[in-house]
Structure 1
Amino acid sequence: MNNEQMEFKPDDFVLVGSLGDAFVDESYKKESYWKDILSRFMKNKGALVGLIFIILVVIMALVGPGLNEHTYYSQIIAHQNLAPRIPGLEDLGIFNGSETMNTSTGTVVVNKYVVPGKVTGLEKTYYWFGTDVLGRDIFTRTWQGTRISLYIALVAVIVDMLFGMSYGLISGYFGGKVDMAMQRFSEVLNGIPTLVLVTLLIIVMKPGLGTITLALALTGWIGMSRIARAQVLKLKEQEFILASKTLGAKDFFIIFKEILPNIFGQLIIMSMFSVPNAIFTEAFLAFVGLGVPQPQASLGSLISDAFKSFTTHPYMIIFPVIVLAVIMLSFNLLADGLRDAFDPKMKER
C-alpha cells in the first residue's frame, strides 16, 4: 500500500452546475385547470377558426343593419329584383348588378341598374346582397335575421345551463322515486314533436319570436338533463362525495359545490352542440311558415321567401344560406374544440 500523501489539484473536482443542467431536475410552473384548458383550446386551429367566425357574425349582426340607409322593413317597389352590386368590385366585373336570365329564346344578361340609352335613376345605387321581390334590401334583412338566430342560440344555452342542468343534477343525485317521476315526465314531454308543439302554441298565442322561444324552452333542455343525470350517477358514489356527506354537507351543497364543478366541462360542451340544433329548428319552423311574422326577418324566413324565386333570381337565397351554414359550422367547430380541451382523451378514441 502506497503511503504517499495524495495531493488534490484545483481542477480535480468540478461543480455539477458548471457541466450543464443535464442531470438537474427541471421544475415546471404549475398551471391552473382553466389555463390548461385554454392552452389546449388555443392549439386547436379548427376551434379557433370557428370562434373567429362566430365573433365576426356577432359583430355583423350588431352593426350590419345600420351600415346603409335601408331598414329590414322598408321596401321600394321600383327597386325590386335587383342583383347584388358592390362598389369597387363592380370594376372587376363581379357583383356589378348584372344577372343571367333564362328566357324562351335563351339566356340573356340583364343589368337593371344601368340600361344603355335610358335613365334608370339607379346608376349610383348599390345593394350589396341585392333586393327581393318587394324591393327590400337583402343585406339588411340577412343581418337582422342573424340577430334572431343568435338570440335563439343564446336562449338554447340559457335553457340548457339553467333548467336542463339543474333538472338532471337533482334527478340523478336523489334517485329512487324522485328520479323515476322526473324521468317519466321528461320522456312524456320529449315524445311530443316540436312542430306539433309550436303549432299548438301558435293556435293559443300569436305567431312570433316569443312563441318559438317558449317552444324551445319547453323541450330544448331534455338532452342536457340526460347528460347531467348520467354524469351525476357516475360521481355520486365516489369517496369525496361520501366524505362530504360524513362531514354533514347538505344535499344541494354537494350537488352544486362538489359534483357540478367536476362535470361542468361536459355540460358546456353539450350546450355548444345544442346551439346548431336550436338554430336549425328555428330556421326550419320559419321555412314552413311558423316563424316570425312579416316584416320581421329570420334566416329561415329569408330562405323560404327566396326559394320561391330560386330559378329566376338565385342570388336571393345564396347569402342567407351561407350565413346560416357559417353559424352552424362555426358552433360545431367550437364545440369540438371545447370537447378536446376539456377531455383530451376523447380525441384518442
Structure 2
Amino acid sequence: MSNMVSDENIEFLPNDFEIMGEENLAQVDNIFASQSYWKDVLHRFVKNKGAIIGLVCIILIIIMAIIGIGINENTYDSQIIQHQNLAPRIPFLEKLGIFDGSEKMNTSSGVVEVNKYVSNDGSTTGLENVYYWFGTDVLGRDIFTRTWMGTRISLYIALMAVLIDMFFGLTYGLLSGYFGGAVDNAMQRFAEILNGIPNLVIVTLLIIVLKPGLMTITFSLMITGWIGMNRIARAQMLKLKEQEFVLASRTLGAKDLFIIFKEILPNIFGQIITNTMFSIPNAIFTEAFLAFIGLGVPAPMASLGLLISDAFKSFTTHPYMIVPPIVVLAILMLSFNTLADGIRDAFDPKMKEM
C-alpha cells in the first residue's frame, strides 16, 4: 500500500523521457512535389551543361545564317578581281596587331609577310577603308558572306533530314512493326535493298537524270536517309504492341491507326527525338562530302563543303581561306551531337551509365 502511494506522488518532468542515440536515427524522407514527365525531362536537360552549350551554339549559328548575309554590301556570288586573296581584316582588332590584313606567304626566298590592303611604297591602294572579316578567295568573293550562305544550305539539309525521318521513316517503321508477318517481311526487305546501295552511287545516278544542286541532295536523302529511323521505330513497335494498354485499346474497338499514332507513338517519342537529332550531323556531313568531291551544289552557289574544296586548292599559299567553313562545320556538327547526347540522357538517364 505504501508503494502505491509513493508511486502516485511521483512527478514526471518533460525531459524524463528522451530518445537515446538520436544522432544515429535515420533521417526523415523529404517530400517532393510531383511533376510531370516532360518537366522532369526538361529539368534533366537543363542540368546538362554540354547540351545547353550545344543548343546555344546552334541558335547563334542559325541567327548568323539569317542575318550574316546582309551585314555588308557583298553577296555570296559577287566578284571583285581587285580584291582577290585579301587576308582577314577586322576593325578595332587590327589596332591590336591581329586580323590587320597581313599574312605570311612561303616564297623561294623564305617566309614573307604581305599586307595587300596597304602599299609598301606609301602609295594608295584604294583598300585602306576596306574590311573583309574572313578575307576573300581567289576570285575576290567575300568569304564571310559565302560562309553564312553555305551554313544556310547545311541547315536546310538538317531540316530535310528531320522531316524525312519524322514523316517517312517513322511512319514506315511503325506500320511495318505493327502489322508484322508478310507485310513486315516485304517492307524490311525493300528497305534493306535500298540500304545496300551506296549513297554515292545514288547521287551519281540522280545527277545523270537531274542537274546538280539541292534537289539532287534532297532526293538522295529521301531515298536512303530514312532507313535508320525505320529500324528504330520498328523495334520500338515490336516491343510495345503486345503490351496491356494496347490490348485494352484493341478490346475497346480502337482502330489500327489510332493505336499506332495515339497509343504507341507517344510512348516512343523520346527515342524518336534522340535518333532524329543524331541523324542531323550525318546528313550535314554527307552534303559537305558530296560538295567537296564536286557532286553538291554547283558554283557560284556556296556550301560549306564547296568552300572547303575551293580553299583546299589554295591551302599552301592562303591557309586562312579554309578556316571559316571548317570551323563553322565542326561547331555545327559537334553542337548537334552534344545536343543529341543531352536529349538522350534527359529522356533515359540510365543510358548515360551504359
Structure 1: distance between partners of 2:239 and 2:30? 37
Aligned position for 2:109: 105
Give 1:223's aligned amino acid.
G
Structure 2: distance between partners of 1:236 and 1:39? 30
Give 1:55's aligned amino acid.
I
**TM value normalised by structure 2:** 0.93
Structure 1: distance between partners of 2:342 and 2:156? 22
Of 212, 228, 232, the match for 2:233: 228
Q: 1:198-277 to 2 correspondence within 5 Å?
A: 198-277=203-282
Give 1:61's aligned amino acid.
A
Q: 1:178-193 to 2 correspondence within 5 Å?
A: 178-193=183-198
Of 46, 51, 58, the match for 1:54: 58
Give 1:283's aligned amino acid.
A
Q: Does 1:294 align with 2:299?
A: yes
Secondary structure at 1:237 match in 2: coil
Secondary structure at 1:155 match in 2: helix
Of 325, 328, 350, the match for 1:320: 325
Structure 2: distance between partners of 1:88 and 1:13? 79
Percent identity of equivalent pairs: 73
Superposed CA deviations along residues 298-335 of structure 1, whole A, max 9, x for unmatched, are 00010011111011000000110000000000000000
Change (3 A) 1:23 1:146: closer
Gaps of 5+ in 2: 18-25
Change (3 A) 1:6 1:190: farther
Q: Give 1:290 shift.
A: 1.1
Of 143, 160, 166, the match for 2:165: 160
Q: Give 1:95 shift.
A: 0.6
Structure 2: distance between partners of 1:51 and 1:132? 31
Aligned position for 1:19: none
Aligned position for 1:40: 44
Q: Give 1:237 shift.
A: 1.5
Change (3 A) 1:281 1:23: closer
Give 1:91's aligned amino acid.
K
Of 56, 59, 69, the match for 1:65: 69
Give 2:170's aligned amino acid.
M
Give 2:295's aligned amino acid.
L
**TM value normalised by structure 1:** 0.94
Structure 2: distance between partners of 1:238 and 1:332? 33
Of 66, 82, 85, the match for 1:81: 85
Count residues with an aligned counterpart: 347
Structure 2: distance between partners of 1:6 and 1:256? 78
Q: Give 1:8 shift.
A: 7.5
Give 2:56's aligned amino acid.
I
Aligned position for 2:132: 127
Q: Does 1:347 align with 2:352?
A: yes
Aligned position for 1:197: 202
Structure 1: distance between partners of 2:299 and 2:67? 22
Superposed CA deviations along residues 110-162 of structure 1, whole A, max 9, x for unmatched, are 00001131210001100000000000000000001000000100000111011
Aligned position for 1:147: 152
Structure 1: distance between partners of 2:124 and 2:302? 32
Q: Give 1:7 shift.
A: 8.2
Farther-moved stretch of structure 1 (142-151 vs 198-207): 198-207
Structure 2: distance between partners of 1:294 and 1:270? 33
Structure 2: distance between partners of 1:324 and 1:300? 9
Change (3 A) 1:319 1:8: same
Aligned position for 2:22: none
Give 1:108's aligned amino acid.
V
Secondary structure at 1:254 match in 2: helix
Q: Give 1:6 shift.
A: 6.5
Q: Give 1:254 shift.
A: 0.9
Give 2:221's aligned amino acid.
L
Of 273, 278, 284, the match for 2:283: 278
RMSD: 2.2
Give 1:200's aligned amino acid.
L
Secondary structure at 1:295 match in 2: coil
Structure 2: distance between partners of 1:299 and 1:266? 30
Q: Give 1:27 shift.
A: 3.1
Q: Does 1:30 align with 2:71?
A: no
Structure 2: distance between partners of 1:68 and 1:248? 63
Structure 2: distance between partners of 1:207 and 1:6? 106
Gaps of 5+ in 1: 15-21
Structure 2: distance between partners of 1:26 and 1:343? 24
